């Protein structure tokens, strides 16, 4: 993998910290950053769904859009087509649930975080109770998994075949996760691309 075509995909369930660390890594290495979730949300807003500042995917509007996506695969197909195009250009960090399966040639990282820890983070982020966060995450994740199973045949959060690294993050803070991933990128990705 030459550095010009380098693609890193950060994956993990909601509340695992994937977006935060993906943005920081893109900034550090001078890569572009693109979020599949943000692109889907922008598409939803364009279609008339109401935006909200925090926790859109766990909101009523986000849940309604999830239902719509279950019925109509075109939303996901459109975004994934765009992500694939960006991936082929290289030098990008993708925050995406689908690219580890759809794009061959990237370095795929899964952030493994317990449901309890993720619910705590979502509750803090969105100003809701942990109980509400657990309920919202369970509902959202069940629907999301159904969408990808039907569309692409993989089990999100259960199938780890495309991943080069699985990092358990429960006992790591944001800074430590970033530090570990920088070491992995420096040692395994940048060095191997220099030696080719």
Nearest to 42 by CA among 56, 32, 54, 30: 56
Q: What is the pLDDT of residues 45-96, one digit of tens each?
A: 999 999 876 788 888 889 999 999 999 999 999 999 999 999 999 999 999 9
Determine the 3-state secondary structure of 52 from DSSP.
coil
Q: Please state the rounded mean pLDDT for residues 140-161.
A: 95
Q: What is the pLDDT of residues 83-115, one digit of tens each?
A: 999 999 999 999 999 999 999 989 999 999 999
Residue spans of the domains in the chain: they are 3-195
89, burial (CB in 10 Å: exposed 0-12, middle 13-18, buried 19+): exposed
At 195, the pLDDT band (50, 70, 90 cuts) reads low
| CATH domain 3-195 topology | Rossmann fold (3.40.50)
pLDDT at 69: 95
Instruction: Describe the crossing of helices 60-71 and 74-89 by its angle, rounded to 10 degrees.
Output: 90
At 144, the pLDDT band (50, 70, 90 cuts) reads very high
Sheet holding 165-168, edge to edge: 32-35, 92-95, 7-11, 107-112, 165-168
Task: Specify whether the CB–CB gap between 110 and 160 falls below 8 A.
Answer: yes
191, burial (CB in 10 Å: exposed 0-12, middle 13-18, buried 19+): exposed
Strand segments (E) across 12-116: 32-35, 92-95, 107-112
Q: What is the pLDDT of residues 115-130, one digit of tens each?
A: 999 999 999 988 889 9
33: left (phi over 0), alpha (psi -120 to 50) or beta: beta
- In total, the chain counts a number of residues equal to 196
Residue 3 clears pLDDT 60, i.e. is over it: no
Determine the 3-state secondary structure of 17 from DSSP.
coil
pTM for this predicted structure: 0.91
Task: Specify whether the CB–CB gap between 93 and 165 falls below 8 A.
Answer: no
């Amino acid at each position: 993998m030459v550095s010009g075509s380098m693609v890193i995909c950060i994956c993990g369930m909601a509340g695992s910290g994937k977006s935060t660390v993906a943005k920081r890594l893109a900034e550090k290495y001078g890569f572009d950053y693109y979020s599949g979730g943000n692109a889907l949300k922008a598409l939803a807003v364009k279609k008339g769904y109401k935006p909200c500042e925090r926790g859109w995917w766990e909101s009523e509007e986000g849940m309604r859009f999830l239902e719509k996506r279950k019925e109509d695969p075109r939303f996901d197909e459109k975004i994934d087509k765009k992500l694939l195009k960006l991936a082929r250009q290289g030098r990008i960090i993708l925050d995406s649930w689908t690219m580890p399966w759809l794009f061959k040639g990237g370095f795929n990282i899964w952030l493994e975080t317990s449901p309890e820890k993720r619910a705590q983070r979502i509750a803090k982020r969105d100003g809701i109770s942990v109980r509400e966060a657990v309920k919202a995450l369970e509902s959202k994740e069940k629907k999301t998994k159904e969408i990808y199973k039907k569309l692409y045949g993989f089990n999100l959060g259960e199938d780890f075949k495309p991943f080069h690294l699985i990092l358990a993050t429960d006992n790591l803070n944001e800074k430590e996760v970033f530090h570990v991933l920088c070491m992995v990128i420096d040692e395994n990705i940048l060095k191997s691309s220099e030696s080719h």
